[in-house]
Amino acid sequence: MGKENESEEEKENWLPKGFEERNKGMIVRGWAPQVVILDHPAVGAFLTHCGWNSVVEAVSAGVPMITWPVHSDQFYNEKLITQVRGIGVEVGVDEWNTAAFRDMKMLVKRDHIEKALRRLMGGGDEAVQIRQRAQKFAKIVPSVVQEGGSSYENMTTLINELKRLRDDKIFN
């Protein structure tokens, strides 16, 4: 929890006093094994910044997402997740932050997170449909990344095009 280069004292400021002692063994410092966690049946949703790797991992695991983009392509990924594919809900980030993690402002309020959680975890029709779509995508993933699948073929095409450009000395 916290930034990689933060001191232990700074990291402690992320949590309320006594939280870690009350929840021993439940807090992971540093990188967590995200793929393993997402594959666990107890995971009902994934609060994500919408980085592409995290999105791919959640889709592969069939876990619906609560989206909280911070910068760059994450806002486009959010639209893909929530509006195009319908496998997640937004927390309602109203302001794009082009400065990445510098000069961060509070962009999402507590009630927005609560609303997103209730939409996705509340058991209503919308939540059921989102969950079903997420599971459907998880079943499709293996076939598209295998040889002959669309992702495999697209990646192969990209690699071959880059090799052709290299060999044609376009960039030299």
Give the H/E segment covering residue 126: helix 125-145
3-state percent helix, strand, coil for the chain, nearest multiple of 5: 50, 5, 45
- For the chain, what is the mean pLDDT? 86
Pick from 134, 119, 6, 157: nearest CA to 58: 134
pLDDT for the residue numbered 16:
77
Distance separating alpha carbons of residues 100 and 71, to the nearest angstrom: 6
Q: 118 falls in which pLDDT band (50, 70, 90)? A: very high
Interacting residues of 97 by C-beta distance below 8 A, sequence separation 6+: 70, 71, 104, 105, 107
Which homologous superfamily does the CATH classification assign to the domain defined by 32-141? Glycogen Phosphorylase B; (3.40.50.2000)
pLDDT for the residue numbered 123:
87
Mean pLDDT along residues 70-91? 95
DSSP state of 47: E
Length of the chain: 172
